[in-house]
Structure 1
Amino acid sequence: MTSNIVPISRSKTNSLRLLRFTQELIQKPSVTPNDGGCIPWLIEQLEPMGFQCQLFKLNGITNLIAQIGEGSKSLAFLGHTDVVPEGDSEQWLFPPFSAQFHNNHIYGRGAADMKSGIACMLDATKQYLESGFDFSEGKFYWLITSDEEGEAEYGTRAIIEYLKQESIQLDACLVGEPTAQKQTGDTIKIGRRGAISGSLKLLGKVGHVAYPHHIKNPVHQMGNVIQSLTSIEWDEGSIDFPGTSLQITHIDSGDFTDNVSPKFCEIHFNIRYSHHWCEKTLNDIIENILESQAVSYQLTWERPCAPYMTHHLNYEQSLLPVLEKSVFKSTGHYPKLSTSGGTSDGRFAATLGCEVYELGVCNSTIHQYNECVSVNDLVSLRDIYSSILEQYFN
């Protein structure tokens, strides 16, 4: 099943198993919402270690809640098995689900986002138990879904709602998303900006363009609206969050005849926003602009993702110093703390009121052709995760 695994030239132990885990996961085609058999495979690995595993499907989405340990404190590892479509396979150096090893990298869709993170935590957990440690000091959860890259309605959101219903509280959550800029461990995400997409349609009056006094051209009106939207003075951000921004992503006026004014003009836009804003305040500022333009419009919102931020009232008692020490132990460098990038399922875990951090491999090739992960990054992340488990549960 897994071939072309070669030893790596580092003084790290048990790397062959880590590479095998990574390859086996990549070789399972799991384009959203299909899990591709990843979660049943994970259960086969976790149950022999003592995890109690619960697989449940919801609207075609496969979810996993696995738990081990009986202590008072609790840590969850959060991740997803689904990947974005591979696109044109001819643009890949190797078949996108072959998990080919080449030049000290493993290539394949999901190699970085985020099957490598799952493989690293799996190998780290095995190493932890093989070293004679246990989970008597706390509970360790695995929360895995096949619905992160899509609408995210029936994945982690549903898992977190289940935990709430069962009164299961988490102290901290570690998300295995690819967060590094150049090498594993150089960046830890301590929060994320919010995101929301909007659709705006202006209605016009159809007519011959030779008689402009008889028509109402919605494209011309939309031009004024776009200028107003892109001229909004948003916040510039802070140490914790990048500034808010609005980007127009699509313009459409339907089928056209070059001498007829269109019936409508529609734009789609996306707003990435800081904690200074919420859905209501964003809606208010857009509607105020539209009212000032005196246009007939239809405004709808979709895919709202609330911002989240982990605050440290007591730094020494938080998980963050454990993460920082683990990164330094493996890489010799302390990580940068960031809230940049897109959204993640960490926003759902944050509704539990727990600490949420994201720590993974390099994200420079995610969602691209020839997505890949370096073996050095894999080994570093596995060692970081191993150190986190040892410090947190002992």
Structure 2
Amino acid sequence: MSDTLRLTEALIRRPSVTPEDASCQALLAERLEALGFACETIASGPDDFRVTNLWAFRPSATPDAPVLVFAGHTDVVPAGPLDRWSSDPFTPTVRDGKLYGRGASDMKASLAAMVVACEEFLRAHPAPPLSIGFLLTSDEEGPARDGTVVVCEALRRRAQRVDYCIVGEPTSVQRTGDMIKNGRRGTMSGRLTVKGIQGHIAYPHLARNPIHLLAPALAELVATRWDGGNAHFPPTSWQVSNIHGGTGASNVIPATVVVDFNFRFSTESTPEELQARVHDILARHGLRPGADYDLEWTVGGLPYLTPRGALVDAVSAAIRDITGLEAELSTTGGTSDGRFIAQICPQVVEVGPPNATIHQIDECIALADVEPLKDIYRRTLERLSGVA
């Protein structure tokens, strides 16, 4: 069993369901401290949702050496129905050439690979011209209010330089290294409450149906082309996630209808532009803010893009060296904590194992993907420090 696989299994054994860290970070910090990293725990959040964050840093002795940060999360999503798992989700199990367990691919294998890659790299190059950091959280799978965003703000206040960041999210499709996420779309949610007048359904002239008031505007919102995207991002999308209206009785016109929706937006649009367009559409259909509707906005993250440059080139070359693959650059998919890191770091990419089973029953990673992932991280360290 390789060091990477052994450490991955040790992490899976810790049931670190958001926001619990279950001592995963302590285990990793112990390994990092042995390499000369200074490790700091930054806790955040209320007592009933306490989040554990780890900032570990090993400065280079070389003046003005660039700083590479490995980032990721120790928390995992709930296992789901235990009787549907082929083996206990927190007992790492190898069968048919795969390692099964919650977090196997999202993203405990990546964390293990990052740490072992640093161990191998620093054994061979104990004084590299590269500073290395680790930014880990137990609040990525949750609301993400007290995790990476809190650490990034602390680093910003300290004027901590971060030149490059590799996030270990599971980005690959078929084989480790076949896809690099070099950016992500922004995310913005809205909660629209349209106001009516409740009444008996047989006397509509004495009531005002908010669902009927909303329907024309909703149809236009669904049909709207928000932008055309660009060479790096698909077009902005608008999707309804929930609609709540009615009392449950079949003979009552409701007083309100509430619509939850979300934008996944490209760099062609800004939150302010999208918000203004939504309000304009509502106005065209006779809906007045305050009087006829309320609309609450939440911007979950801005889009970011890391074009080809030092980091993308180093990671792409490392993947080519280790696997022979030419990695595809992509900005598709959901969001990640990269959206927070991109606010303090100019070059952020995500590189990890295949994502086919993440969040699923019987989550797993192929054994054949584990060592190449570690080698990609190590080779990237070598290339960025100029020792490759």
Task: State the match for 1:345 in structure 2.
Answer: 337
Letter matched to residue 253 of structure 2: S
For residue 64 of structure 1, the aligned residue among 47, 54, 58 is 54
Could you list the per-position Cα deviations for residues 232-266 of structure 1 after superposition, in whole angstroms to 9, with x for gaps in the alignment? Answer: 11223222011111111111114221111111111
The one-letter amino acid of 1:247's match is Q
Letter in 2 for 1:75: L
Match of 2:186 in 1: 194
1-structure distance, mates of 2:296, 2:213:
18
Match of 1:300 in 2: 296
CA shift at 1:176, angstroms? Answer: 0.6
Q: Percent identity?
A: 39
Question: 2:210 is matched with which residue?
Answer: 218
Aligned to 2:280: 288
CA contact (8 A) 1:79 1:176 kept: yes
| Structure 2: distance between partners of 1:139 and 1:365 | 34
3-state SS, counterpart of residue 90 of structure 1 = helix
Stretches of structure 2 lacking an aligned partner (at least 5 in a row): none
Query: d(CA) in 2 for partners of 1:263 and 1:205?
Result: 5
Q: Distance in 2 between matches of 1:300 and 1:219?
A: 18
- Matched with 1:11 is none
Matches within 5 A, 1:13-162: 15-59=1-45, 60-70=50-60, 71=62, 72-130=65-123, 132-162=124-154
Q: Contact 2:165 / 2:345 at 8 angstroms: preserved in 1?
A: no
SS of match in other structure, 1:78: strand
For 1:180, the equivalent position in structure 2 comes to 172
Instruction: Provide the secondary structure at the position in 2 that maps to 1:151.
Output: coil
CA distance in structure 2 between the aligned counterparts of 1:135 and 1:178, rounded to whole angstroms: 30
Deviation at 1:353, TM superposition (A): 4.1
Q: Report if aligned partners of 2:39, 2:57 keep a CA contact under 8 Å in 1.
A: yes
State the SS of the aligned residue for 1:369: coil
Correspondence 1:276 to 2:268: yes
Q: In 2, are the aligned partners of 1:151 and 1:303 still within 8 Å (CA)? A: no
Compared with structure 1, are the counterparts of its residues 355 and 106 closer, same or farther at alpha carbon in structure 2 (3 Å cutoff)?
same
| Larger CA deviation: 350-359 vs 73-82 | 350-359
1:355 and 2:341 equivalent? no
CA positional deviation for 1:225:
2.6
Aligned to 1:147, the other structure's residue is in SS state coil
CA distance in 2, matches of 1:342, 1:306: 12
Alpha-carbon displacement from aligned partner over 1:320-365 (angstroms, at most 9, x marks no partner): 2211111011111110001111111111111124211111000111
Question: 1:256 touches 1:262 (CA, 8 Å); kept in 2?
Answer: no
Aligned alpha-carbon RMSD (Å): 1.4
d(CA) in 2 for partners of 1:31, 1:223: 40
State the alpha-carbon separation in 1 of the partners of residues 278 and 77 from structure 2. 31
Alpha-carbon spacing, 1:356–1:32, altered in 2? closer, same or farther (3 Å): same
3-state SS of 2:25 partner: helix
Q: Counterparts of 2:87 and 2:297 in 1: how far apart (Å)?
A: 39
Q: Which runs of 5+ in 1 are unaligned?
A: 1-14
Residue 311 of structure 1: CA displacement? 3.1
Deviations 1:92-122 (A, max 9, x none): 1111111211111111111111111101111
Instruction: State the secondary structure of the residue aligned to 1:167.
Output: coil
More divergent stretch after superposition (197-206 vs 217-226): 217-226
Q: Which moved more, 1:221-230 or 1:26-35?
A: 221-230
Are the equivalent residues in 2 in contact too, given 1:69–1:135 (CA < 8 A)?
A: no
Cα distance change, pair 144–247 in 1 and its aligned pair in 2 (3 A): same
Please say if residues 69 and 137 of structure 1, whose CA atoms lie closer than 8 Å, have aligned partners that are also in contact. no
Shift, 1:61, TM fit: 1.0
The CA distance in 2 between the partners of 1:367 and 1:221, in whole Å, is: 39
The equivalent residue for 1:6 is none
The range that moved more, 91-100 or 339-348, is 91-100
Distance 1:246 1:327 in 2: 35
SS in structure 2 at match of 1:54: strand
- Residue of structure 1 aligned with 2:160, choices 162, 168, 176: 168
Matched AA of 1:32: T
CA contact (8 A) 2:301 2:340 kept: no
- Post-superposition Cα deviations, 1:175-234, rounded to whole Å, max 9, x if no partner, equal 111110111000011100001111111111111111222211112223223211101112
Aligned CA distance change for structure 1 residues 247 and 169 (closer, same or farther; 3 Å): same
**Normalised TM-score (structure 2):** 0.94
CA distance in 2 between counterparts of 1:310 and 1:286 reads: 29
Say which SS state the counterpart of residue 34 (structure 2) adopts: helix
CA distance in 2, matches of 1:231, 1:99: 47
